Structure 1
Amino acid sequence: MNFKNLLKFSTLVLLFTIVLGSSSFGQTTYYVDVQNGLDGYNGLQPTVGAAPNGPKQTITNAIAAASDGDIIMVAYANGNLYNENINYVVAAAPNKRLTFGSYGGGTPKVVSFTLNSTNALAPDNYVTFSGPFLFTDGLTLTDGQIKGATNITVGGLAPAATVTRNSATPAFGSVDGQINFATGALVDFVYLGGSNATMGGEIVPATNTTTMRNLTTGAGTITLNSSKTMNGVLTTGGALAIGTANTLTVNGASGAHTIGGNVTGGTLAFAMTGAVTVTNNFNLPNVTA
């Protein structure tokens, strides 16, 4: 390699190093404290200092201030509720893939969280939770993925929280692990849109027989990932595939159950006070009523 080419190569290496350095050092951490913060603060430190230094008061304002790759740290704030219905949008240009952490010795309580990344494509349509969060009223997944889902708990304050997987595009939103449910909470599970999906970590596992209240499905085929026990109303708009090794147990409800599509495989067990309306076919090895 002659001197001229060596000089060009060295220049390229230097520029590449500068770009990498800028990316790694460009990450900003924003702090949020519903008890002590103000949205007029810059959010760059966890405690209040000389203006404008101090934590922001709302998570929504911190999201608006953040850029792709930034971290938002949310204070426990002595258990005070973040009265926010957060609509988190991962835009296609530019992406805003944020990480949410928590601090202050407890789990921050937020009303609800919606992941809406219909304008971004995998693998860029995600948000990460690195610390515990409690969403008291619900969680909505509209395309995209939540990473660190085991840090999320749903339920706790509302009469019944709601977890929704909403298919605005051909793919449902998803989580990368089993979310948690507050002790004693009742949770409704809703699957909207016309796409097919297999249940995942957004719904109760087979071992949880008390949390699941109502189950509602849309026009697509929804497949159980394990046996489920529900204590409310079953309403299906499309096919419900229970799976040959699974049982869906419905333990009574004051309202009518409506089966709007084929129910296939496994065992459907009813112990109910409400009526059942069937508008399509049952194809089950076992039906217990």
Structure 2
Amino acid sequence: MIPEMTGRPRFGRDDVSVFLAVCDAGSFAAAAPRLALTASAVAKAIGRLEARLNVRLFHRTTRRLALTAEAAVYREACRAARNRIDIVEAELALLASEPAGTVRVSLPPLLGAQILAPALYALCDRWSHLRFDISTSTALSDLVGEGIDIAVRVGDLTDLPGVTARRLGIQRVVLCGSRDYFAGRGLPRDVDDLSEHDLIAAVRHGRAAAWQFLTRDGDRQTFDPEPRLLLDGSMLTLAAIRAGRGLGLVPHWLVRDQLAIGELVSVLDDLVADHLPVHAIWITSPVMLPRLRVTIDAIVRASRAAIAERLLV
């Protein structure tokens, strides 16, 4: 039922709203105050609706209005539609007032799983209507095409029209090998010494990704490793390093504990230059829904905590 309206009508002064108000009030004159209209304006609205539908909606007498059979069917359809509009408007109001709905997030696999995702899980405990759809990728995402609300990526960003980027920190990398490996091979003292070692490289575009170093003069130089092992991902690389298979580049935060206890040994620390920025990216919009705002804030807080713990810099 449409409630009594003494001022501005609930659904506006469209002809369907006028029709429903007349159905509830029983006459044009009784409906008019509820709609803040004159009785004549109410009658004209009903006339327009009848002309559009090409059916008569009311049997009019000098004493009362009675719905036609067609009007009774139309009234129920209109009420169902208005009720659905009520539900949707309430849901939209909730989305605009507090974090609710689903946020689709794309994270880098390791950094996402170990540092960022736990902060998003915690949001679910705080906001009962908030949900996450989290995937992992290292590719620079087409946010619109893939339906992603926010992505976190490690590496330099290209120009991304219509996308906002926020820098979260820098992921340091280290070149390291196992203690047992170095016991038999010795430590490299310079980049040139790497040719005497078994190298483990990441695959990129079907070939070994180049390594970046600084010269002793501070210039940047590119080194193309000739790997014994070409592996996809830091976890495979770390497993091979721990098994004594050679030297490889991995994120510092991933091996910090093993370095601290001497299980792994890093080399050329002052020359390694493969450190990469970490960014959060999302589609630029003049209005940010609360669910996206709290997600970005949680990712930023998790990144700051990682910086404080020296996992990122």
Q: Same fold (TM over 0.5)?
A: no
Structure having the higher Rg: 2
Q: TM-score, normalised by structure 1?
A: 0.24
Structure showing the higher helix proportion among its residues: 2
Structure showing the higher strand proportion among its residues: 1
Whose relative contact order is higher, 1 or 2, with alpha carbons under 8 Å and at least 6 apart? Answer: 2
